[in-house]
Amino acid sequence: MKRNYSTFVLRVCAVLILFIPALFPAVTRAANITWGSQQQITGNNDVSMNGVLIGAFNVGDTGVPSTTVNGVVFQSFAAPGGTGMSGNFTMTPGGPGVFNSNTAGGSNMPPFSNLSPEYQTLLSSYVTPVFSPVTLTISGLMIGTQYQFQFWSNLSSQMFGYQITATGGNNSITLSCNTGGAQGGLGQFVSGFFTADAITQNISFLGDGDGGFLNAFQLRQIPEPKTSLLLVAALVGGGLFQLCRRIKPAKT
């Protein structure tokens, strides 16, 4: 008697093809962020509008206001003591030594005073991880999707260029909060790109021995598909399907 194995084998192969993409997320890694070069703060156009906005936040103490710069709404992200959460974004301190303030980082002197009022609001509040890092955990990411992460470091109320270092995966970038060396001076911002290889991504921030200021950040999804990954998936899936079709049913 012959058993109809061919239909069964084809169904099994179809299920395997559908579930192949689900096998890879089981391996979770911290994606490396490819940082661009440090940029001097100059005006509203500093705020990237690439891709699709996932979240943008103005970081500071309790009561930190929301503000809109270059059409991007930076929501309030209160992180007293380095601890805060909003949606899929969570900030946690690595230990004691995290200080923060709401509006103490601004100045009535140029070039800071020449910025738009909204941008001044964004750059006046901050969290300062001095003796231990704060870690920003981003959840809800789509594996294989490219993201842009942008953050700012500014302190115009003093003349000192304290530095903060951000680390994503194996790559780090250091920004200065005041490159002018005078009250009213402006700091820096930077953009980094990463392709999510897990549903979460950690980015840690640590100031130098004297300071280090994190004012704001935003995450944007870059919509262009990974053509090479799609091609590989199509080839693998097509190869498996052809292999399954060639399997002969067993005879009894």
Write down the domain spans for the chain.
Answer: 29-224
Report yes or no: 95 and 131 within 8 Å, Cβ to Cβ. Answer: yes
pTM: 0.79
Q: Which residue has tokens 């006046």?
A: 124
CA atoms within 13 A on the CB side of 1: 1
Amino acid at 102: N
Question: In which element (H, E) is residue 192 found?
Answer: strand 188-195
**Strands annotated E in 196-250:** 201-207, 216-222
How far apart are alpha carbons 136 and 139 in whole angstroms? Answer: 10
Q: Examine the pLDDT at 9 and tell me if it is beyond 70.
A: no
Give tens-digit pLDDT for 148-203: 999 999 999 999 999 999 999 999 999 999 999 999 999 999 999 999 999 999 99
Q: Domain 29-224 - what CATH class?
A: mainly beta
Q: Which residue has tokens 């061919």?
A: 6
Question: In which element (H, E) is residue 40 found?
Answer: strand 39-40
Q: pLDDT band for position 23 (50/70/90)?
A: very low
Which residue in 158, 155, 159 sits closest to 177, CA to CA?
A: 155
Mean pLDDT computed over 16-27: 44
Measured between alpha carbons, how far apart are the two ends of the chain, in Å? 6
Give the pair of three-digit tokens for residue 191: 């953009």
CA of 95: how far to CAs of 92, 130, 131, 211, in Å? 9, 10, 8, 16
How far apart are alpha carbons 5 and 248 in whole angstroms? Answer: 8
Give tens-digit pLDDT for 42-66: 999 999 999 999 999 999 999 999 9
SS3 label, residue 145: coil
